[in-house]
Amino acid sequence: MPYVVAVLMSVLGVVGDYFLKLASADALQVNVKLLALGVLIYAATALGWFYALAHLKLAVVGVVYSVSTVLLLTLLGALYFREHLSYMEILGLILAILSLILLARFA
């Protein structure tokens, strides 16, 4: 269950990133409401981290959070914001997935 909470906090963090990206879409004017919403969502993730950190090693939580966040942000960027990935970025994502597999296997 702590692994699920860590991934869910990553999802919540990505939702916060989504609102921050929208808030910064206009280089001349920041959308303060979207900025505040993104910050509030980030703050909400602290409760989930409290639970996950009580049940898992800090290093494990850090890797699960980092890799799942990278994967989710990449999907969001590619599918919603139409950002393109280079071959090296795709290779990096594959290696990130492999790191999660190794962590789950040996942690």
For the beta carbon of residue 21, count every other beta carbon within 10 angstroms. 16
pLDDT at 107 over 70: no
Q: Considering its fold, how many domains does the chain have in total?
A: 1
Kindly tell me the burial class for residue 42, based on how many C-beta atoms sit within 10 Å of its own C-beta (0-12, 13-18, 19 or more).
middle
pTM exceeding 0.85: no
Averaged pLDDT score across all residues of the chain: 87
Please report, for residues 43, 53, 71, the alpha-carbon distance to residue 97 in angstroms, rounded to integers and kept in the order given.
Answer: 27, 22, 8
Give the pLDDT confidence of 37-57 residue by residue, as tens digits: 999 998 888 888 888 889 888
Note down the domain range covering 34: 2-106
Q: What are phi and psi of 3, to 5 degrees?
A: -65, -40
